[in-house]
Chains A and B, each alone.
Chain A
Amino acid sequence: MSGRAHIVPVAGIILILLYAGCHAEEPQPVVLVYAGRLPGYADALAGIINETGTRTIVARCDTLLRALANLPQVGCIVIPALNPSDFDFLREFAPVLQRHFEEGGSVVGLSAACSMDLKGMATTIFPIHGNATGKGKNVEGVYGSTYVLSDVLEEITGGLPREFVITQSDYTYQSSQAGPVPPSSDVGKLSILYREQSTGIPLVVALERDGGGRSVSLPGCYVAVVERLPFHWGKLVGQPEFKELLRRSVAWAMAGSERHDRLAQSREQSLKAEAERMSRIAEVGEQSQARSRQRRLVLLVGLWAAGLVFQFFLVIRFIIPRMRGPIKLRA
């Protein structure tokens, strides 16, 4: 083969590798935001998270969350769903979120999504176990609650004041006959970052799961969809303290997403392995097909040869003697 003839296949291989290399590029980590029937609220929250340069996808329908939640690039799932009609879906989808968390994924929950009993979500992912509600009140012209620093977690509390007011109509907590029960979890380290000023009820709870995975519960942040109400979601998403709290919570949760780190790191490897598995199956199939074609060809050629031999036999035995002339009978 000439030198030029070598260049063409080599260049082809390089191009294919380059193409494959480009396409195997690790996708940017993404935050999924699901607000159910309130896509406007989800857009606003995604906008706040985007300000840090983090990519977000708003799950505008249940299907989008169902389809995307398990992808390796998902670094954090934010669930601010408020509408009771979304809770049926969340109850159904809870096993996926729970598995996501158990595999080391990260989740941030706001209001009901982190405090209602949504098939175990409020017990495994979010340690709130909410069964009672406290009310917000008018504080310096803002309808909400005063958040007061409790445990320090530099990544979240570091950029926030020791005390601030957040817009919310209610907050949830666990209560027993003896009074409020503090959040608890047996899956990892739990920190109560902020409490309600007058009652001491936890309002920001961070959970770091042993073996990876983080959750942040914001069991306050109950907002309304009616614009004239003082706790409309538009007021919450406009508050600088809330914006900072959300940004920092998401950033902290993402930083501890063991699932994302593990899957993103091995993404190319696992995809290659799957592609190789598929091509091996196809290759083995093609080989087996080629073998069966070969067998078929051998069989046909054999039959053909046998037919020809038989034909020659007939010609030699019966036709040629007749052509030699009439058969002479012995006297």
Chain B
Amino acid sequence: MRERLRVDSSLVSIMLIVLISSALVVFSLAHEKIESPVELLKNVFPKKLFSEASVTTTERMGFSFSLSARRDMKLLEVQYATLVQVEPVFVTGARPEGSLEEIAQGILPIRALLDETENSYVPYEAIEVKASYRNFTFDGLFYDFPLVRLYSDPDTSGQVYTSFLILRNGTDIIYLEGISDFFLNKLGGFVGVEFPGGKELRSAISSLRIRRNENMTSYSSAVEVPDGWKDIAETPPFGRVTFADVLRNDTFSVDFTVETPKRPQKMSAHVIRVIADGKVCEVAVNLME
């Protein structure tokens, strides 16, 4: 006669616990969200632009920004904005009280652009940012107007203002405004500048390299562009570098060297936005003295 199998009830309990707990672990892992689709690897910039320079000398300054993808993406974009500090001109003549947004929207160019570019298709972007400089930390608001880029010629990107940054530390306000590009005077256009040795520079950027994994595209502003390099005028328009069909663990970098006799009078900043599949996922604010 076949012996009847007697199963201990504790075994059944253990098996049920294992089944349920493993299911919970699996489903919680399945719903885990990756916070950012990219990981910033490097963000190098000079804290002080032209530390030794007078207007008659040039200094080389290196900028490097690199990241890796944490997931597959159809399109990854790195958008540069270069801004310089100026005294804000307020609509009412005086700085409005209130939130950072209220103050920003009281600044004449921001107010005018908000009014003149209002539409429901291509809206402006207002991004809350954090920045630090020396021992100070700032809360900030970055405004970008893609509509201005849409109607502007990329060759004139150095003259057309698209982006604005307002930073607050306590009651102090720092206001910067600028262009959508890797740096000022990318395509020359130096006005009222004495060049060292009288030799006019074609661009403030002497070289720029864009890398995706092992593939590198190099740009030079030298009169005679080295073999295999492209002219600086061929850099991605409006400082927007795009990478299509990105795979997880792909790495990217944008490196460039600036050599210019033209120095901003006050503070300047780079705002680098990383946009993954149309959504801003990282914003780096690099303040430079």
Task: Check if A and B associate.
Answer: yes
* Contact A73 B148, CB 8 Å, known A67-B162, A284-B74, A324-B5: no
Q: How far is the CA of A324 from the CA of B278 in the complex (A)?
A: 63
Are B89 and A281 neighbours in the complex by a CB distance under 8 Å?
A: no
Q: Does A286 have its Cβ within 8 Å of any Cβ on chain B? A: yes
Q: Within B173-226, which residues are at the interface with A (CB < 8 Å)?
A: 177, 189, 191-192
Are A271 and B89 neighbours in the complex by a CB distance under 8 Å?
A: no
Distance to closest chain A CB from B114 (angstroms):
11
Q: Does A139 have its Cβ within 8 Å of any Cβ on chain B? A: no
* Contact A96 B89, CB 8 Å, known A304-B23, A308-B19, A315-B15: no
Q: Within B108-164, which residues are at the interface with A (CB < 8 Å)?
A: 108-109, 112-113, 116-122, 145-148, 150-153, 155-156, 159-162
Are A324 and B276 neighbours in the complex by a CB distance under 8 Å?
A: no
Q: Does B71 have its Cβ within 8 Å of any Cβ on chain A? A: yes
Are A274 and B150 neighbours in the complex by a CB distance under 8 Å?
A: yes
Distance to closest chain B CB from A243 (angstroms):
26
Q: How far is the CA of A297 from the CA of B31 in the complex (A)?
A: 8
Q: How far is the CA of A24 from the CA of B23 in the complex (A)?
A: 51
Are A23 and B151 neighbours in the complex by a CB distance under 8 Å?
A: no
Distance to closest chain A CB from B261 (angstroms):
15
Are A68 and B122 neighbours in the complex by a CB distance under 8 Å?
A: no
| Segment from A87-95, A128-136, A193-201, A203-211 that makes contact with B | A87-95
User: B5, B22, B152, B276: which contacts A285 (Cβ < 8 A)?
Assistant: B276
* Contact A23 B119, CB 8 Å, known A64-B108, A301-B26: yes
Q: Which residues of B contact A (CB under 8 A)?
A: 3, 5-8, 11, 15, 18-19, 22-23, 26, 29-30, 71-75, 86, 89, 108-109, 112-113, 116-122, 145-148, 150-153, 155-156, 159-162, 177, 189, 191-192, 276-279
Identify 6 new A-B residue pairs, CB closer than 8 A, beyond the known A71-B147, A92-B191: A71-B117, A119-B191, A272-B121, A274-B122, A281-B74, A288-B72
What would be 16 A-B contacts, judged by CB atoms less than 8 Å apart?
Answer: A63-B86, A66-B161, A67-B109, A67-B145, A93-B159, A285-B73, A286-B277, A288-B73, A289-B71, A300-B29, A301-B26, A303-B26, A304-B23, A304-B26, A315-B11, A324-B5
